[in-house]
Amino acid sequence: MVEYLKSAPGLAPHSAGDTADTVQIMLARLKEGGEQAVRDYAAKLDGWDGDIVVTPDQVEQASLRVPDPLKAEICYAHDNIRRFAEAQRASAMDFETELRPGLIAGQRQIPLNAAGCYVPGGRYAHIASALMTITTARAAGVPNITACSPPRPGQGVHPAILYAMSLAGADRILAVGGVQGVAAMAFGLFGAPEADILVGPGNQFVAEAKRQLFGPVGIDMFAGPTDSLVIADTTADALTVAWDLVGQAEHGYNSPVWLVLDDADLAAQVLAHIPGCIAELPEPNRSSAQAAWDALGEVILCADREEMAQVADRYAPEHLHVQAVDLDWWRMRLNAYGSLFLGANTTVAFGDKASGPNHVLPTSGAARYTGGLSVHKYLKTVTWQRVEDEALPALARATAAISRAEGMEGHARTADIRLERMHSPIRAVGNG
């Protein structure tokens, strides 16, 4: 029987309609006004009146301001992310198969022509997001990659973000964020081709802009606030678990964290550690973590590991961290998560920043039906087929019969005429 040792009262109600209306108006103005509208919004919302297109020289100058030790760590992370993405690309294969004699079909994996990668840069400088989105697009074979990030007044895009964007392989970089940044990439402004797909995390306005543009433009997913769930058994260390919860809660007031366990004593210890962990954070992280824990944090006591797995599958978290014995059992049993972190050594922050698998992941329960960003999001899996004479009679008969049963006479006749042509003396002579 599941017992909530700490339940979540939830956030105060708010209207998503206000965000949707604001974004709709902005996108209409940006579509009509083009580059000048982007500049106007950049000045109004970000206090930025500098160049939108970041030149190679500006990237180089910014890179000089990034300390060498940090550059080395960014390169380490980039190498892991690139290797993982290249391994994913190798798993996406073209193939050809003969379904029946003379009926040949296959698939191709075709990279998209242009990607728009959004890199948040407001409260936090999301260096890792630049690596995750751009590196993966490059590994997929996308030939045109545009990246954008919000500039800070009087400073521009954070130097480490620019360094990471360049290292990851961005073809062009725009110093613009928010809805206007998303629109600039979608509409093909400032010399960029129109994006075939928009990817990357962002605030509610960025997410809503992607949602409204979806259709003519692809998106990685409609992302909400980040969320994390920790599964722990009696072998877990209470302080480590507490920090793993608090470390994810610092994302923001609306970031849920959940603990699922089968030991009431461990739960009590974790609950006792949480306030102290939060208190150690600097502001604004401390306030964000406290608000998220108070409103959205949950501690759920289960009878056994199967019940714990059932709860985890029901929540379908973005990040799922298992600190329990028999990791292979958990790896094979758990079915709904964005990314899985196995063992006490494997903190979610590793995946967020540097370990290799992508950190752009489904939130708000979307892991029930989709995975996260990968090279597959930048590829079109398309199919082809070819019919030779020996396969034609049976295939045409089946097609005509099914078409007529459906009431689609035109479809049936496209099959009939091929049978007729096959037995035509003129065709036989022509094929001489």
What was the pLDDT predicted at 74?
A: 97
Measured distance CA(79)–CA(132) in Å, rounded: 11
* Alpha-carbon distance values, 265 to 28, 233, 255, 299 (Å): 56, 11, 26, 12
Total of domains in the chain:
3
Gap between the Cα atoms of 159 and 406, Å rounded: 62
Pairing of strands 218-219, 144-149: unpaired
Q: Cis peptide before 67, with omega less than 30 degrees from 0? A: no
Residue 7 included in any domain: no
Could you tell me if residue 10 is inside a domain?
no
Give CA–CA dist 229/386, Å, rounded: 49
pLDDT for res 427: 54
Structure tokens at 355: 């370990």
Residues 137 and 81 in one domain: yes
Reported for 8-17, long-range contacts at CB under 8 A and 24+ positions apart, including other chains, are 8/256, 8/295, 8/296, 8/297, 8/298, 9/294, 9/295, 10/295, 10/296, 11/253, 11/254, 11/295, 11/296
pLDDT by 10s per residue, the chain, length 432: 899 999 998 887 765 678 899 999 999 999 999 999 999 999 999 999 999 999 999 999 999 999 999 999 999 999 999 999 999 999 999 999 999 999 999 999 999 999 999 999 877 789 999 999 999 999 999 999 999 999 999 899 999 999 999 999 999 999 999 999 999 999 999 999 999 999 999 999 999 999 999 999 999 998 889 999 999 999 999 999 999 999 999 999 999 999 999 999 999 999 999 999 999 999 999 999 999 999 999 999 999 999 999 999 999 999 999 999 999 999 999 999 999 999 999 999 999 999 999 999 999 999 999 999 999 999 999 999 999 999 999 999 999 999 999 999 999 999 999 999 987 766 544 443
Instruction: Clarify whether residues 161 and 33 are in a common domain.
Output: yes
Joined tokens for residue 381: 């899996």
DSSP E strand stretches across 14-165: 53-54, 95-100, 103-111, 114-118, 144-149
Distance CA 294, CA 278 (A): 11
* 134 and 97 assigned to the same domain: yes
What angle is formed at CA 52 by the lines to CA 49 and CA 58, rounded to 5 degrees? 105
Whether the Cβ atoms of residue 113 and residue 143 lie closer than 8 Å to each other? yes
Domain that holds residue 396: 388-423
248 labelled as ligand-binding?
Answer: yes
Instruction: Kindly state the tokens that stand for 37.
Output: 């509208």
Is 180 annotated as contributing to ligand binding? yes
Query: Tokens 């360049």, residue?
Result: 166
Do 91 and 133 belong together in one domain? yes
Establish whether 406 is an annotated binding residue: yes
On whether both 233 and 212 belong to a single domain, the answer is no
pTM summary value: 0.92
Note whether 83 and 112 are same-domain residues.
yes
Quote the CA–CA distance of 352 and 340 in Å, as a whole number.
12
Residue 308 to residue 279: CA distance in whole angstroms: 29
CATH code assigned at 289: 3.40.50.1980
Flag whether 2 is in a domain: no
Q: Is 318 marked active-site?
A: yes
Catalytic, 319? Answer yes
pLDDT at residue number 429: 44
184 shares a domain with 263:
no
How far is it, in rounded angstroms, from Cα 110 to Cα 142? 9
Q: Are residues 70 and 37 in the same domain?
A: yes
In a domain, 326, yes or no: yes
* Measured CA distances, 410 to 402, 414, 421 (Å): 12, 7, 17
Annotated binding residue 335? no
In a 3-state reduction of DSSP, which class is residue 17? Answer: helix
Cα(6)–Cα(242) distance, rounded to whole angstroms? 14
**Together in a domain, 93 and 170:** yes
Tell whether residue 158 is among the known ligand binding residues.
no
Report which secondary-structure segment, H or E, holds 380.
strand 379-387
Catalytic residue among 208, 318, 321, 359: 318
Residue 33 lies inside a defined structural domain of this protein: yes
DSSP string, 18-45: HHHHHHHHHHHHHHHHHHHHHHHHHHHH
214/229 same-domain check: no
**Model pLDDT, residue 388:** 96
Helical H segments across 250-370, by residue range: 264-280, 285-296, 305-315, 327-333, 348-353
In a domain, 4, yes or no: no
Is 269 labelled a binding residue? no
340 and 361 part of one domain: yes
Please tell me the predicted confidence (pLDDT) of residue 428: 47
Identify whether 431 is part of a domain: no
Candidates 188, 171, 165, 128; CA nearest to 358 is 128
**302 and 247 assigned to the same domain:** yes
The catalytic residue among 126, 158, 273, 319 is 319
- Is the separation of the CB atoms in 221 and 362 below 8 Å? yes
Instruction: Evaluate whether residue 210 is within a structural domain.
Output: yes
